[in-house]
Amino acid sequence: MSFKLLHEKIGHMSRNFSFLLASTSLIILLAVLAFSCSQPKKIEDFTVTPEPFSTPEIELRVDSILATMTFEEKIAQIQGIRPTELLVDGKLSLDLCREKIPNGIGHMCQFSSSFTMEPEELRDFVREVQSYLMTETRLKIPAVFHEEAITGFSTKGATTFPQQIGIVCSWNPEMATRNALSTRNNMKAVGANYALSPMLDVIRTAHWPRIEESYGEDPYLTSTMGVAFIKGLQGDDFKSGIAATTKHFAGYGANTSNEKDFFEDYLMPHEAAIKGANVKSVMPSYAAYKGVPDVANPELLTDILRGKLGFDGITVSDYHSIDHVYGKWEQASSYKEAGVMALKAGNDLEFPLPKTYEFLPEALEEGLITMEVIDAVVKRSLIMKVKLGLLDNPVFGAEGDLDFDPPANRKLAYEAACQSIVLLENNGILPLKVDEIKDIALVGPNSDNVFCLLGDYTYQSMITYFWGQIFDPESPRIVTIIDGLKNKLGNKASIHNERGCDWTEPLGTLIDPNSYGGGELGTAKKNILSRVAQPDFEKALSIAKKSDVIIAAVGENTYLCGENREREGIRLPGEQELFVQKLIETGKPVVLVITGGRQQLVDKFSGQCAAIIQAWFPGEEAGNALADILLGNVNPTAKLCVSYPKDESEVEMNYQHGYKEVQPQYPFGFGLSYTTYAYSDFHMPSKANINDASFSISCTVENTGSVDGAEIVQLYVSPLDESSSMDAIQLKGFKRVNLKAGEQKTLTFEVSPQQLMQYLDGNWKVEAGKYAFKIGASSVDIPLSGIIELQGEDMVLEGRNVFFSKSKVIDE
């Protein structure tokens, strides 16, 4: 046989083999799809059951300790104290320890965010306190050290992630877990073991100044991200993890007058965390439920939390919330009565100081409270300490030098920022074409400083606002917008920078940082305004007129959004709107970049700016992430976790009720990309039994553009029966799908009928009937849908144990 003939035969065999291989692959894929859709699921695959707080062994151990405790030692274990109370000239004072915590202490409160200590100093401080407690107090019981953790470990030098309202716009629970795991490692390195995080309030108005700490307006998305965060922070073992605390229980920042909404929406994230992530610490809110302050509300803390939700862990007061029962709410006649009310209602620990619990000896003597109630609370406090390993020869912190912001963490922070930044409008100006652009005007109050990039309860915000101190922007290094552009552009284009206007003062005003008085707000303004350049409006306008493109960085800063920070309205603060309008009038394309903790109105600029970006508070890698998105090195993928209002109405905006009377500027789930996606091949059975464990929904999504990207595929449900009281549309699943240009993937959702549960007349009920399931790119962009009929009798259940659908990309 000639070489040529042999070559032809081999080629023919090869082509046949390739065809056979391709055919076999197709058959396998179809079989996988058929298998995934046809295999019966068990309801146990969807239900979640928490582990018990205690065990018989722990009970015996704690009971033996409790039997030896004096009354004073018991009270000490249910109180907290701030470490600043124990310092003299910045050093731990043993004399103050002997005076203020002679019988031990339950918690050291916010032990790191009030200091400017280096990591090793902080670890050594923790060890000093614990050494005192384990050598000079009779019981030798260490303290719990707790801190804030929603954007990372709130301490000097630690990685600072985007604020939660930004993180959730990634729709990426796996990323939330990774970030929280890095936070856990940093906290463990100094001996911390407890976090007052995450915040799981469902918020439906941009007017509430703490919306930035939330995961937005949807209970399903909030629950998913909350559970993911807790799994990273706490993990499966309290001894190796950081005990997570869900807050604020429940309905903080919202209208909770509708019982159905309260149980279905506002309780869901807490319940999912308790049952699905084994949370054993819950913080009641500053709010009131049915007119009674949450921290002293027996219906909320005993009947609902411990009764209906089955919570068996420990409850901790928000700071000073118990004394608010007397001072703010005026529902107690004294601090003593406030403390008694809180304990009897179901609140266990008082933070950050024993302002009301210090009167418990008097209350006991007067018969206002019983020892049985106190012992039960002390017992829960000790159980938590056993679970954390504090009574088993604990080691506090890691040895050697500590690095709270290693390259791996900065990479996480960068990826988180990239995935949290939402592109709202784009007329084609983005990504910027640097081969055509020579001069970039970078203007606006947020163009050149760090104070617009960091959310509340970051270390930087807390040290600035609550403690009136100045932080080091190099520990960790915070990348400003101008620095990010310089890093990414190099010498490809010239950047001309001028702030141009202040955050709140009129255009052309000479800012005097010392003119704002004292108090938290005045001191914060002084410390921030003394560290930024004076704005020059005319210079900014001149720069803008000479540029090829204008990047206007506007919005909020540390003292304009966050706890105890109120401002009028939700438009851009001060005269920033006028400033942007003047930039638009130059005729040059304006890219509006908004940073801050809430949706800020852009109705005046929609269609006038060449592009609009909502960046939230993007954290330490803000500048690099924004620059890469502006320049096209990163394709934006984020989608809104809130409805974006178009006016200043204070009426709560909830996409679940349908956008009927109030239309948003941008809907829930919306976000643009530099590529396009197409949806096809929707499959769902037309009928299912209401008692089935689940049914399958599948579709195909394709990247039809020329840029690699990631599409967030969203699954919604709407009731079709006119008698149904279910909300008009609800999120029931989502999946972030990475797609190269031209690539398509098939994904499936396994949905349990129990996800359609409603709270009706005091019971959980799944109604038989017809439902429309919808798949799309936002809550209003729905290219695919189908109808399924749930057959059988209505299902009534004692409680809610199914929260999430299961999603899978078949092609991965």
Q: Is 483:623 a contact under the CB 8 Å cutoff? A: yes
Q: Please give the Cα distance from 63 to 145 (Å, whole number).
A: 23
Place of tokens 């000093």: 128
Q: Does residue 8 surpass a pLDDT of 60?
A: no
Q: Does residue 282 surpass a pLDDT of 70?
A: yes
Residue 64 φ then ψ, to 5°: -70, -35
**Residue 811's pLDDT band (cuts 50, 70, 90):** confident
Q: Please give the Cα distance from 211 to 8 (Å, whole number).
A: 69
What are the tens digits of pLDDT across the range 675-698? 999 999 999 999 999 999 999 999
Residue 349's nearest CA partner among 329, 374, 325 is: 374
What are the tens digits of pLDDT across the range 521-575? 999 999 999 999 999 999 999 999 999 999 999 999 999 999 999 899 999 999 9
Query: For strand 769-776 and strand 806-809, is the pairing parallel, antiparallel, or unpaired?
Result: unpaired
Burial 315-337 (b: 16+ CB within 10 A, else e): bbbbbbbbbbbbeebebbeebbb
**Residue 24's pLDDT band (cuts 50, 70, 90):** very low
Q: Does residue 449 surpass a pLDDT of 70?
A: yes
Roughly what angle, to the nearest 10 degrees, separates helices 335-345 and 371-387?
A: 70
Q: For residues 37 and 441, which has the higher predicted lDDT (pLDDT)?
A: 441
Q: Is 231:177 a contact under the CB 8 Å cutoff? A: yes
| DSSP letters spanning 332-380 | SSSHHHHHHHHHHHT--BB-SS-TTGGGHHHHHHTTSS-HHHHHHHHHH
Determine which helix (DSSP H) or strand (DSSP E) holds 276, and give its type and residue range: helix 268-276
Query: For strand 784-791 and strand 687-689, is the pairing parallel, antiparallel, or unpaired?
Result: parallel
Q: Please give the Cα distance from 460 to 445 (Å, whole number).
A: 19
Q: Please give the Cα distance from 715 to 697 (Å, whole number).
A: 9
Q: What is the mean pLDDT of the chain?
A: 94
Q: Please give the Cα distance from 759 to 769 (Å, whole number).
A: 17
Q: For residues 176 and 517, which has the higher predicted lDDT (pLDDT)?
A: 176
The tokens describing 536, both together, are: 């020059």
Number of DSSP helices (H) and strands (E) in the chain, helices first: 22, 29
What are the tens digits of pLDDT across the range 409-432? 999 999 999 999 999 999 999 999
**Residue 14's pLDDT band (cuts 50, 70, 90):** very low
Cα 630 to chain centroid, rounded? 25
Residue 514 φ then ψ, to 5°: -90, 5
Query: For strand 763-766 and strand 795-797, is the pairing parallel, antiparallel, or unpaired?
Result: antiparallel
Q: Secondary structure of 664-714 in the HEC alphabet?
A: CCECCCCCCCCCCEEEEEEECCCEEECCCCCEEEEEEEEECCCCCEEEEEE
pLDDT at residue 662, as a whole number: 83
Q: What's the average model confidence in pLDDT over 218-236? A: 97
What are the tens digits of pLDDT across the range 496-513? 999 999 999 999 999 999
Q: Please give the Cα distance from 153 to 157 (Å, whole number).
A: 9
Q: Does residue 10 surpass a pLDDT of 80?
A: no
Strands, DSSP E only, in 214-285? 246-249, 281-284
Strands, DSSP E only, in 367-464? 422-426, 439-443
Q: What's the average model confidence in pLDDT over 741-752? A: 98
Residue 784 burial (CB count, 10 A): 20
Before 250, cis peptide (omega within 30)?
A: yes
pLDDT at residue 12, as a whole number: 42
Residue type, 773: F
Residue 6 burial (CB count, 10 A): 10
pTM: 0.94
Determine which helix (DSSP H) or strand (DSSP E) holds 539, and give its type and residue range: helix 537-546
What are the tens digits of pLDDT across the range 66-116? 999 999 999 999 999 999 999 999 899 999 999 999 999 999 999 998 888
**Residue 49's pLDDT band (cuts 50, 70, 90):** confident
pLDDT above 90 covers a percentage of the chain that reads 92
Q: Is 793:766 a contact under the CB 8 Å cutoff? A: no
Q: Please give the Cα distance from 225 to 219 (Å, whole number).
A: 10
Q: Please give the Cα distance from 765 to 786 (Å, whole number).
A: 23
Residue 677 φ then ψ, to 5°: -130, 150
pLDDT at residue 661, as a whole number: 80
The tokens describing 750, both together, are: 């396994």
| DSSP letters spanning 298-338 | HIIIIIIIIIIS---SEEBPPTTHHHHHHHTS--SSSHHHH
Q: Does residue 475 surpass a pLDDT of 60?
A: yes
Determine which helix (DSSP H) or strand (DSSP E) holds 134, and give its type and residue range: helix 119-136
